[in-house]
C-alpha cells in the first residue's frame, strides 16, 4: 500500500471540495454537494458498511444507517475513494476497518487521511500531550474522535497506524464507548445511529431528477409517487407533521 499516494489523493479530494488540509469536515454535507450522486441510507446488518455503484455517470452510494454516525462518516469517506479513485464499477464494503481486499484497505486508509489529516492529528495530539512522555488517555481519545467526528473504531485504527497507541491499549479503549464520552460531558450523538424512522432514506440526484421530471410533466403523479415511495421518501409524497410547526430562524 502506497500511503503517500493515498494521502495525496485525500488532499486532492479536499481541494476539489474547497477544504483545507487541517480542519474537520462535514463529510455528509460534502457528499450531498456532488451534483449527480444519489445517496441511500439503509440498515444493512452487521457485516456491511456500504457500497458504491457507478453507472451511466449517475453513481449511487449506499451507507449502512444502522451504524453509529461516526462510523457512517468514515464509511462515506471510504465510498468516496471508490467513487473517485477506484476503477471498479461496484464495490461492496465490509464493516471491519483495515481488513478485506487490498482495495478495501486502501479505501480505509484514504478515508482516515481524508477525515483526519496527518498534520491536524499531530497538532491535536500535541495540544493534549503537554507531557510528551505520557500516553494518550481515554479522555484524549474522546476529544480527538469528537473533534474529527469519527467513530471509536476509526480513531483507534488511525492511532495504531501512527504509533500513538499500542495494540495492547485498544481492547480497553473499545469498552463502554458511549459512557466514556458522556462522562466527559459530550453528547452521545456520534456513537448512535439516526432514529429508526430516519434510517431508510434517499437523497440527491434521484430525488432531484424525479421532481424535475414531474414538474416538466414527463411522468404522471402516480409514477412520481411510486418512485419516491420506493426511495423511502414518503415525507415528500405525503408531507410531514413537522412542517406545520416549522421554525425559520
212 CB neighbour count, 10 Å cutoff: 11
pLDDT value at 227 more than 90: yes
DSSP-derived 3-state class of residue 65: coil
The continuous run of DSSP H or E covering 41 comes out as strand 38-42
Quote the distance between the C-alpha of residue 79 and its chain's center: 8
What is the model's pTM?
0.91
Task: List pLDDT tens digits, range 122-151.
Answer: 999 988 876 666 788 999 999 999 999 999
The band of 96, judged by pLDDT with boundaries at 50, 70 and 90, is: confident
The residue ranges of every structural domain in the chain are: 3-116, 119-187, 205-238
Give, in words, the CATH class of 3-116: mainly alpha
Task: List pLDDT tens digits, range 53-69.
Answer: 998 789 999 999 999 99
DSSP-derived 3-state class of residue 93: strand
pLDDT value at 1 more than 80: no
Strands 201-204 and 48-53: unpaired
pLDDT value at 243 more than 80: no
Angle, vertex CA 49, rays to CA 38 and CA 94, nearest 5: 125
pLDDT value at 118 more than 70: yes
Amino acid at each position: 500500500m502506497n500511503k503517500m499516494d493515498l494521502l495525496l489523493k485525500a488532499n486532492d479530494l479536499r481541494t476539489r471540495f474547497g477544504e483545507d488540509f487541517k480542519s474537520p469536515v462535514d463529510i455528509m454535507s460534502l457528499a450531498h454537494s456532488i451534483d449527480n450522486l444519489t445517496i441511500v441510507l439503509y440498515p444493512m446488518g452487521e457485516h456491511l458498511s456500504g457500497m458504491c455503484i457507478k453507472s451511466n455517470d449517475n453513481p449511487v452510494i449506499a451507507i449502512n444507517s444502522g451504524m453509529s454516525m461516526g462510523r457512517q462518516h468514515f464509511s462515506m469517506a471510504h465510498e468516496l475513494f471508490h467513487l473517485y479513485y477506484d476503477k471498479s464499477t461496484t464495490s461492496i464494503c465490509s464493516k471491519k476497518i483495515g481488513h478485506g481486499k487490498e482495495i478495501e484497505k486502501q479505501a480505509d486508509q484514504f478515508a482516515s487521511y481524508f477525515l483526519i489529516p496527518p498534520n491536524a492529528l499531530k497538532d491535536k495530539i500535541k495540544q493534549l500531550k503537554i507531557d510528551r512522555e505520557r500516553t494518550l488517555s481515554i479522555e484524549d481519545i474522546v476529544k480527538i474522535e469528537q473533534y474529527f467526528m469519527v467513530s471509536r473504531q476509526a480513531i483507534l485504527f488511525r492511532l495504531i497506524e501512527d504509533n500513538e497507541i499500542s495494540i495492547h491499549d485498544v481492547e480497553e479503549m473499545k469498552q463502554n464507548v458511549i459512557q466514556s464520552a458522556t462522562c466527559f460531558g459530550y453528547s452521545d450523538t456520534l456513537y448512535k445511529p439516526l432514529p429508526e424512522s430516519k434510517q431508510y432514506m434517499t437523497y440527491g440526484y434521484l430525488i432531484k431528477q424525479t421532481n424535475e421530471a414531474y414538474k416538466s410533466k414527463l411522468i404522471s403523479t402516480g409514477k412520481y409517487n411510486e418512485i419516491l415511495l420506493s426511495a423511502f421518501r414518503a415525507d415528500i409524497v405525503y408531507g410531514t407533521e413537522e412542517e406545520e410547526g416549522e421554525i425559520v430562524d
